[in-house]
C-alpha cells in the first residue's frame, strides 16, 4: 500500500496481557475501516506477528528512542497508543520507577504526527500523580479516548476539585463485548450443548463472565462471591 500507514503502539500477543489482546482486536477493526492503509504495530520485544515491530525494551531508560526512529521512518497517517502505567514504567537498578516519564517524552518526540492515546487506567479515585499524568497526557495528544462516560464525568469532578481546566480533547468510545461476535437467543441452546453445559446439573439460566482468569486480575474473588449473592437475592426478592 502506498498511503501512509496507521501505527499502533502497545503490548501485543503472544504476551498474556489484556491490553495486548485489546490491541490485536483494535487493529483488526481499524484495518477493516481503512482497507487502503497498512495498520502496523510497535510493541514490546515479546510481540510477534506480521506488521509488528518489537522495539520497546522497557529495561532501557531511553526505550522510546528506537520507537521514535521507527515512527519517523514509517511517516504514519496517525499514531494510536494504548496506555497503562505498567507497560511503560522503566525501573533503574534500585527498582525506582520513572513514573512513565518516558511515555510523555515519546509523545513530545512524535508530536508532528496526529496522536490518539487510549488510557486503560482511568478510575474514580485517581491519585495526585495520576491526575497530573492524565493532564500532561492530554496536553501532548490530539485525541484521548475514554471507554465510558462515567470516566469523563469523574475526571472533570477530580480536575475541578484541583481548580484545573478540563481538557477538551477527550472522546468517549464505549467499551464492551464485540457485537460482531454476539449470538442470538435462538442459538443459546446449541451453544450450551457445544460447551457441555447440558451434561451438568444446572438451571436453564446461567450467569457467566468473559475476561482474563489470571490471579492478578482477581476475578476469583468475584466468582467466589456469587453463591452468597444468589442466596441474598433469593432471600430478598423470592
- pLDDT for 146-204, tens place per residue? 999 999 999 999 999 999 999 999 999 988 767 777 888 899 889 888 988 888 877 77
126 shares a domain with 53: yes
Q: What is the mean pLDDT of the chain?
A: 93
Average of per-residue pLDDT across 55-61 = 98
165 shares a domain with 193: no
154 shares a domain with 94: yes
Assess whether pLDDT exceeds 90 at residue 138.
Answer: yes
160 shares a domain with 134: yes
CATH number at residue 126: 3.40.50.11930
Domain for residue 1, yes or no? no
191 shares a domain with 155: no
Domain for residue 178, yes or no? no
Output the pLDDT for position 201. 78
Q: Number of structural domains, the chain?
A: 2
Cα(196)–Cα(232) distance, integer angstroms? 28
Which of 210, 233, 151 shows the shortest CA–CA distance to 22? 210
Q: Which range among 17-31, 58-72, 191-205 has the greatest average pLDDT? A: 58-72
Output the pLDDT for position 212. 61
Output the pLDDT for position 104. 99
149 shares a domain with 196: no
221 shares a domain with 107: no
Percent of the chain with pLDDT over 90: 74
156 shares a domain with 200: no
Partners of 79 in beta bridges: 7, 115
Domain for residue 19, yes or no? yes
Q: Which residue has the higher pLDDT, 54 or 237?
A: 54
Which of 212, 196, 205 shows the shortest CA–CA distance to 234? 205
Which of 4, 87, 81, 70 shows the shortest CA–CA distance to 39? 4
Q: State the cell numbers at 132.
A: 497530573
95 shares a domain with 27: yes
Question: Domain residues for 207?
Answer: 183-237
Answer whether 21's CB lies under 8 Å from 39's CB: no
Cα(118)–Cα(23) distance, integer angstroms? 10
203 shares a domain with 113: no
Which of 97, 85, 139 shows the shortest CA–CA distance to 115? 139
Average of per-residue pLDDT across 20-32 = 95
Domain for residue 177, yes or no? no
Assess whether pLDDT exceeds 90 at residue 144.
Answer: yes
Assess whether pLDDT exceeds 80 at residue 1.
Answer: no
76 shares a domain with 114: yes
Domain for residue 144, yes or no? yes
Partners of 8 in beta bridges: 41, 80
CB atoms within 10 A of CB 132: 14
Q: Which residue has the higher pLDDT, 46 or 209?
A: 46
191 shares a domain with 152: no
Amino acid at each position: 500500500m502506498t498511503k501512509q500507514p496507521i501505527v499502533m503502539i502497545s503490548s501485543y500477543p503472544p504476551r498474556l496481557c489484556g491490553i495486548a489482546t485489546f490491541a490485536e482486536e483494535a487493529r483488526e477493526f481499524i484495518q477493516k475501516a481503512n482497507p487502503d492503509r497498512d495498520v502496523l504495530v510497535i510493541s514490546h520485544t515479546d510481540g510477534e506477528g506480521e506488521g509488528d515491530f518489537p522495539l520497546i525494551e522497557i529495561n532501557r531508560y531511553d526505550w522510546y528512542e528506537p520507537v521514535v526512529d521507527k515512527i519517523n521512518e514509517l511517516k504514519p497517517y496517525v499514531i494510536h497508543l494504548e496506555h497503562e502505567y505498567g507497560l511503560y514504567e522503566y525501573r533503574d537498578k534500585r527498582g525506582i520507577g520513572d513514573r512513565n516519564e518516558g511515555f510523555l517524552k515519546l509523545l513530545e518526540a512524535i508530536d508532528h504526527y496526529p496522536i490518539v492515546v487510549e488510557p486503560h487506567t482511568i478510575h474514580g479515585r485517581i491519585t495526585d500523580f495520576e491526575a497530573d499524568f492524565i493532564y500532561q497526557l492530554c496536553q501532548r495528544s490530539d485525541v484521548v479516548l475514554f471507554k465510558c462516560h462515567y470516566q469523563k464525568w469523574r475526571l472533570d469532578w477530580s480536575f475541578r476539585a484541583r481548580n484545573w481546566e478540563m481538557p477538551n480533547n477527550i472522546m468517549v468510545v464505549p467499551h464492551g463485548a464485540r457485537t460482531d461476535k454476539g449470538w442470538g437467543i435462538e442459538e443459546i441452546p446449541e451453544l450450551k450443548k457445544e460447551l457441555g453445559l447440558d451434561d451438568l446439573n444446572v438451571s436453564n439460566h446461567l450467569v457467566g463472565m468473559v475476561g482474563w482468569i489470571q490471579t492478578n486480575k482477581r476475578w476469583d474473588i468475584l466468582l467466589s462471591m456469587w453463591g452468597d449473592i444468589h442466596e441474598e437475592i433469593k432471600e430478598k426478592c423470592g
